[in-house]
Structure 1
Amino acid sequence: MPQPSASVVMPAYNCAGTIAASIRSVTAQTLKDWELIIVDDGSSDDTLLLAKSIALRDRRIRIVSQQNAGPSAARNQGIALASAPIIAFLDADDLWAPERLAAIVERFSEEPETGVLFTRVRFVDEHSGAPGRLSDHVARLSAETLLGENPVCTTSNIACRAEVMRDVGLFSHGLNFAEDQEWLLRVAASGRWAICGIDEEWLFYRSGAQSQSADLNAMRLGWLTMMERAKDYGAGLSPRSVRRAYGPFYRYLARRALRLRRPLQSFDFLARGLVADPGLLLREPRRTVLTALGICLSFLPSNTIRGLVEK
């Protein structure tokens, strides 16, 4: 087979309920000369069986298996097998718009200095499909803008030149959270590649109770590890920009804890953020105040909240 224009790497672990739709979002791409490399990370459900049954009908899909080693190891395995000059990532529970891959390949051909591309992300409920918030558009990322609430949002939103992977290295195995930010910080610190955003809604990130049930403290520790590494990369981060990253990140954790109905944990996270970054309330008053209000309301009985809303 001729070399494809893009390699799509999909790590998969116990995602039998979602992987078929994610694969269909790749096969529905308007760009046709791609390869999809699915790396099963030791699934104990029917993920591998489903992926193989779909691959039998499409020669562009390759399946490999490994013992469970985490998503970063699975992605790195896929990268090692990729043959295209462009590599894009898609988790086995997310979805792409049909035009995404073609537009990304075209954009790379027009901008030789661009090493990484991402788009806007639409968050959708994994059960109802109801649309949620849309991520902000950022035209070009620096190391400073990568910190805090990562505008790329998810590894499913990363597309890069294979050359960039050879230049800055693969994803870190030692991180269970923020591995995408850590890798992007290495790209930014290299100073050799631009990280650019496309102002289009081309990625759909499925969120719900299951995806929100991650250990938030483990997420915190992973992010702190990433921040320590960032200081060593020489990414041009000032002490002020590092300090300002803590507020938005802890607020993000506070909001996730709220969705999980953990008001005490949410309060703890927001308090940590405001202590580390007191200026957050002045810089971003609306979102910070709404988070604090949500925490306060979460301590009230539901009938009291209903009464306040109805007044």
Structure 2
Amino acid sequence: MLRVLLSVIVPTRNRADLLLRCLKHLQQQSCRTMEVLVLDDGSDAANRQALRAAWCQLDTRFRLIEVAPTDAVTSSGPSAVRNHGLSQASGALLAFCDDDDLWTDSKHAERLIQLFTARPELELFIGNQRAVHVDGRISDDWLPGLTSICSGLPELVAEIYTITTEQLCRSGGFGHMNMLTLRKTLLDRMGDGFWSRVSYEEDRDFFWRATDAAQSIAFSPRVVCQHHVPDPSRRVNVSTSFSQQERWLVAAMVSQHIAVTVKSPAITQLCLAHEGDLLRRLALHCASHNQPAACLGFARQALGARFSFKWAAYCGWAWLKSFKRG
């Protein structure tokens, strides 16, 4: 039996049709020394039956792990499920694919193993992905800010570039889970996998903590996967099950968690600035919904997280509104 070198973590719940599309693409990978861990987080009977019925069409690289019983009332959540997958992974390299997304390059796994074998100092690799939006728009570059500077970066191998944490912070956005591959030794150094206290933006939290811990990072502008952006008007997955206000609140808390767990000043500054933007949105939302006290509270927090004279003036206005209301 071939030794497993790469483990791909695929969490799922009640989306057998999308999952089977994802697995069909993963089966096209040319690499034979990879495993795909499918973690079913308590799907209902119909979805589990559909998955079990189709399992015979997959090869021995695929493992089905039923994390929670059929028809589980509540899910374990994406953080806990991915952490369970990480604990079961046999490979020295760890990668991810969401059940509604795809790996589009059939040689992606093979190239990953070759890259990490040739470069033993490399700890984190970020590929590129296209995004398909609900209105049919396609964005061919997930991190265009990073792609735009590749010509000036040191080339590790062909079309793969060495990047720094600071360059990542300036590039805008963050690496989606489909795009990431890391050594298991990096996970050990992080001291923890996904933050199990949250079930939204856990991927952003994981990305920046992994980036902070990594001593060597590489990026390739080549598209290797495809992300289907969830429709926010349909609450069919974890991220869209939250209201907009809840997403802002959880995202602000995630920003704080990153800031208190990383050592990089660049990441800390980036996350605190993002927290300030989120708190501003919450303040404006409360103002538009006639909640002056809440507006003032969020406005003051936003000012502390990211100071500007314009926002200081807004805080003064919010204080007057709250004072008059009181």
Q: TM-score, normalized by length of structure 2?
A: 0.69
Specify the code of the residue in structure 1 equivalent to 2:201.
Answer: A
Are the structure 2 counterparts of residues 39 and 206 from structure 1 closer, same or farther at C-alpha, using a change threshold of 3 Å? same
Q: TM-score, normalized by length of structure 1?
A: 0.72
| Mean Cα deviation higher: 61-70 or 216-225 | 216-225
- Structure-2 residue corresponding to 1:297: none
Q: Which whole-Å CA distance do the structure 2 matches of 1:72 and 1:143 have between them?
A: 26
- Structure-2 residue corresponding to 1:184: 207
Query: For the Cα contact (< 8 Å) 2:124–2:211, is it kept in 1?
Result: no
- Structure-1 residue corresponding to 2:96: 89
Specify the code of the residue in structure 2 equivalent to 1:158.
Answer: L
Q: Per-residue CA shift, 1:222-281, capped at 9, x if unaligned?
A: 222222222322423267545543477689x89xx9xxxxxx79xx9xx989976588xx
Q: Per-residue CA shift, 1:130-150, capped at 9, x if unaligned?
A: 523521253525278459953
Q: Does 1:60 align with 2:84?
A: no
Q: Does 1:236 align with 2:264?
A: yes
Q: Could you say what secondary structure the match of 2:95 adopts?
A: strand
Q: What does 1:18-167 correspond to in 2, within 5 Å?
A: 18-44=18-44, 46-57=46-57, 58-67=59-68, 68-97=75-104, 98-125=106-133, 131-132=138-139, 134-137=141-144, 138=146, 140-142=163-165, 145-146=168-169, 150-152=173-175, 154-167=176-189
Q: Unaligned 5+ residue runs, structure 1?
A: 258-263, 280-311
Q: Unaligned 5+ residue runs, structure 2?
A: 69-74, 147-160, 290-294, 309-326
Give % identity: 18
1:186 Cα deviation after fit: 2.4
Specify the code of the residue in structure 2 equivalent to 1:71.
Answer: P
Q: Could you say what secondary structure the match of 2:17 adopts?
A: coil
Q: Does 1:245 align with 2:282?
A: no
Q: Which whole-Å CA distance do the structure 2 matches of 1:123 and 1:13 have between them?
A: 22
Query: For the Cα contact (< 8 Å) 1:120–1:202, is it kept in 2?
Result: yes
Are the structure 2 counterparts of residues 48 and 136 from structure 1 closer, same or farther at C-alpha, using a change threshold of 3 Å? same
> How many residues are treated as equivalent by the alignment?
264
Query: For the Cα contact (< 8 Å) 2:208–2:258, is it kept in 1?
Result: yes
Query: For the Cα contact (< 8 Å) 1:96–1:202, is it kept in 2?
Result: yes
Q: What does 1:201-240 correspond to in 2, within 5 Å?
A: 201-209=223-231, 210=234, 213-215=240-242, 216-237=244-265
| Mean Cα deviation higher: 35-44 or 111-120 | 111-120
Query: For the Cα contact (< 8 Å) 1:146–1:185, is it kept in 2?
Result: no
- Could you list the structure 1 runs, at least 4 aligned residues long, displaced by more than 6 angstroms after superposition: 247-251, 271-276
1:194 Cα deviation after fit: 2.4
The Cα RMSD (Å) is: 3.4
Q: Which whole-Å CA distance do the structure 1 matches of 2:60 and 2:110 have between them?
A: 19
Specify the code of the residue in structure 2 equivalent to 1:51.
Answer: L
Specify the code of the residue in structure 2 equivalent to 1:171.
Answer: F
Q: Which whole-Å CA distance do the structure 2 matches of 1:218 and 1:149 have between them?
A: 23
Q: Per-residue CA shift, 1:97-153, capped at 9, x if unaligned?
A: 12222222222122222212121121114686x52352125352527845995321x
1:28 Cα deviation after fit: 0.7
